[in-house]
């Protein structure tokens, strides 16, 4: 993939240069015994592999989806992050929603646009680079969203999966820290710093490169996911 040599050496480490970020957790303590995320029910988040590019239409991986008028849309995937979420507490956690933010050089937390992989199909633009021979990448079943859907993450258990993102227009220059925001099914919110691991499981790359059918997609309308789903 152009620009992805070395994965972390290209953009991810340039944006997130510390192995463990120094952000302080939010105070999520409460008197409710039914709380799903509290000071006693902690979790850890890490990125095991992937990359993050600036906002651009020059990408190898695309989400191909449709609109309500039947138009075929191809949206660039600027970042592919293999997320590991571990429940460190003593009670189950069921995630209702989450987001990822990066602290830029202006000390502003910039939210990445999370792409719903299940709203379409993921394709590599193919050997010609113009999507005339786009290759299907069947990795939707390996997404983080799929791993956490209606799932109680038991104490000391870990879930993993790909998160697809679009970089923000604001840019991420000078970013050094990232954080993971979680809301559980009871509405409790918490945020934790993201660790970046330099080596991931050997099974990651084969999953990403799993190739299915080839399709002519050069006529698909190219549009950022955030614009197609405002």
Domain range list for the chain: 7-228
The separation between the first and the last C-alpha atoms of the chain, rounded to the nearest angstrom, is 28
d(CA 92, CA 88): 10
| Predicted confidence (pLDDT) per residue in 37-77, tens digit | 554 568 999 999 888 888 999 999 999 999 878 899 999 99
pLDDT of the residue at 209: 55
d(CA 100, CA 205): 22
- For the chain, give the percent of residues with pLDDT over 70: 74
Stretch 70-95: mean pLDDT: 94
Going through the chain in order, the beta strands assigned E by DSSP cover 43-52, 61-66, 72-76, 79-87, 95-103, 109-111, 113-115, 121-124, 134-137, 158-166, 177-184, 189-196, 211-215, 221-222
What are the φ/ψ torsions at residue 182 (nearest 5 degrees)?
Answer: -130, 140
| Predicted confidence (pLDDT) per residue in 150-190, tens digit | 999 999 999 999 999 999 887 776 667 899 999 999 888 99
3-state helix, strand, coil in the chain (%, to 5): 10, 40, 50
Tell me the whole-structure pTM to 2 decimals.
Answer: 0.78
């Amino acid at each position: 993939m152009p620009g992805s040599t070395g994965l972390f050496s290209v953009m991810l480490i340039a944006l997130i240069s510390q192995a463990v970020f120094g952000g302080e957790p939010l105070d999520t303590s409460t008197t409710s015994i039914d709380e799903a995320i509290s000071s006693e029910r902690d979790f850890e988040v890490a990125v095991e592999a992937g990359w993050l590019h600036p906002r651009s239409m020059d990408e190898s991986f695309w989400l191909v989806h449709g609109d309500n008028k039947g138009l075929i849309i191809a949206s660039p995937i600027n970042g592919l992050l293999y997320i590991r979420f571990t429940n460190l507490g003593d009670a189950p956690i069921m995630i209702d929603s989450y987001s990822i933010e990066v602290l830029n050089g202006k000390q502003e937390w910039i939210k990445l646009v999370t792409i719903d992989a299940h709203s379409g199909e993921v394709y590599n633009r193919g050997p010609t680079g113009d999507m005339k021979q786009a290759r299907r990448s069947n990795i939707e079943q390996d997404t983080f969203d799929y791993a956490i859907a209606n799932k109680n993450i038991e104490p000391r258990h870990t879930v993993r999966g790909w998160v697809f993102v679009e970089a923000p227009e604001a840019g991420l220059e000078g970013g050094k820290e990232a954080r993971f925001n979680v809301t559980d099914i009871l509405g409790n919110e918490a945020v934790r710093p993201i660790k970046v691991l330099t080596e991931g499981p050997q099974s990651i790359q084969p999953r990403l490169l799993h190739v299915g059918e080839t399709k002519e997609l050069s006529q698909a309308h190219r549009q950022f996911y955030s614009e197609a789903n405002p």
